[in-house]
């Protein structure tokens, strides 16, 4: 009888498993709502988180005691010059950006034919063009280093119809294609680009739906789980996609929707 020696494998540390410890992560829209929870989740994984927000007031409210981030940067991401200056300022102060979460977004309700050009441009300018501006600013450095992780926050409305939210739906549908195209273009350079498509979350837009009894009931009936998501459930998915545990996931969009059916 042949004796076999026992093969042992080293148990990786939490740092080795996630690859997030000490990583510099930029989170747009990271000071309130879902973005704030994402910032907290990543900081809890020992990442060095820098939050970006348009409104300086919200940046000032981001106390170190409340959320252990290392920096907060005011920036209008719809302005490409503002973004370039902000990225340069962050990297000069903290070092190369290892990962980015494109979470900043707005929604302005209204039928397509009743929205003004200003309203339409605000939504598209922030949600789509703002995300594109951030990508253009960080991708060259990531390609040079042949390393980078990006998660864009899309929405289930990027592939579903919601009357009265046409500009938001269009912006998120475009984000979905941006995820797939940029992942294909940069995957060979060691960069992973994925998306998270939340359903209704107990914050921000979800809170507004909760205040509309008729809409809330209709949406709830369409959810397998019969409830809205807690923000941390979406943040956990973002953290996973940025981690080494998702090293072979690229160009994907993961729905965190509670099993949503069509609304109409």
Q: Using DSSP, state whether 172 is helix, strand or coil.
A: helix
Report, as residue numbers or ranges, the catalytic residues: 168
* Digit-coded pLDDT (tens) for 85-102: 999 999 999 999 999 999
Could you give the 3-state DSSP secondary structure of residue 62? coil
In a domain, 59, yes or no: yes
Residue 156 lies in a domain: yes
- Which residues, listed in sequence order, are joined to residue 52 by a DSSP beta bridge? 28, 73
221: in domain: no
Instruction: Return the top range by mean pLDDT from 10-24, 45-59, 224-238.
Output: 224-238
Helices and strands in the chain: count of H runs, count of E runs:
10, 7
Most confident among 1-5, 29-33, 52-56, 242-246 (mean pLDDT): 242-246
Q: What is the DSSP letter of 228?
A: P
Whether 158 is covered by a domain: the verdict is: yes
Q: What is the pLDDT of residues 187-242, one digit of tens each?
A: 999 999 999 999 988 876 666 666 666 666 777 777 888 788 899 999 999 999 99
State which H helix or E strand residue 134 sits in: helix 130-145
**Given this model, what pLDDT does residue 11 score?**
43
User: Is 10 contained in some domain?
Assistant: no
> How far is 130 from 28, CA to CA, in rounded Å?
10
Secondary structure string (H, E, C) spanning 31-57: CCHHHHHHHHHHHHCCCEEEEEECCHH
Tokens 């797939």, located at residue:
180
Q: Which domain holds residue 72?
A: 18-200+230-256
5 domain residue, yes or no: no
What are the tens digits of pLDDT across the range 127-156?
999 999 999 999 999 999 999 999 999 999
Q: If you compute the radius of gyration of the chain from its CA atoms, what whole number of angstroms results? A: 19
Residues 131, 134, 140, 144: what is their CA dihedral angle, to the nearest 10 degrees? -100
Say how far apart CA 199 and CA 255 lie, in whole Å. 7
Distance CA 101, CA 95 (A): 17
The enclosing domain of 140 has a CATH number of 3.40.50.720
Q: What is the mean pLDDT of the chain?
A: 87
The answer to whether residue 26 is domain-embedded is: yes
- Binning pLDDT at 50, 70 and 90, where does residue 14 land? very low
* Domains contained in the chain, number: 1
DSSP 183-200: HHHHGGGTEEEEEEEE--
pLDDT band with cut points at 50, 70 and 90 for residue 56: low
Q: Is residue 110, in this structure, part of any structural domain at all? A: yes
């Amino acid at each position: 009888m042949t004796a076999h020696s026992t093969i042992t494998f080293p148990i990786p540390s939490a740092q080795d498993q996630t690859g997030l410890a000490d990583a510099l992560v930029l989170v747009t829209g990271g000071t309130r709502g879902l973005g704030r929870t994402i910032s907290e989740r990543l900081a809890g994984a020992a990442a060095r988180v820098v939050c970006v927000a348009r409104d300086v007031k919200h940046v000032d409210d981001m106390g170190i005691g409340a959320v252990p981030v290392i920096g907060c940067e005011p920036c209008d991401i719809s302005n490409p010059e503002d973004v370039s200056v902000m990225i340069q300022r962050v990297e000069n102060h903290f070092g190369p950006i290892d990962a980015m979460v494109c979470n900043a977004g707005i929604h302005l309700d209204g039928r397509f034919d009743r929205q003004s050009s200003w309203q339409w441009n605000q939504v598209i300018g922030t949600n789509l063009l703002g995300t594109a501006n951030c990508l253009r600013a960080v991708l060259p450095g990531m390609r040079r280093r042949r390393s980078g992780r990006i998660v864009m926050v899309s929405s289930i409305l990027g592939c579903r119809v919601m009357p009265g939210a046409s500009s938001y739906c269009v912006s998120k549908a475009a984000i979905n294609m941006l995820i797939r195209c940029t992942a294909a273009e940069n995957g060979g350079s060691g960069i992973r680009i994925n998306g998270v498509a939340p359903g209704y979350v107990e914050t921000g837009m979800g809170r507004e739906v909760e205040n509309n009894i008729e809409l809330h009931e209709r949406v709830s009936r369409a959810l397998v789980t019969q409830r809205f998501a807690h923000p941390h459930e979406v943040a956990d998915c973002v953290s996973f996609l940025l981690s080494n545990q998702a090293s072979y996931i690229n160009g994907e969009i993961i729905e965190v929707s509670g099993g949503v059916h069509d609304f109409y």
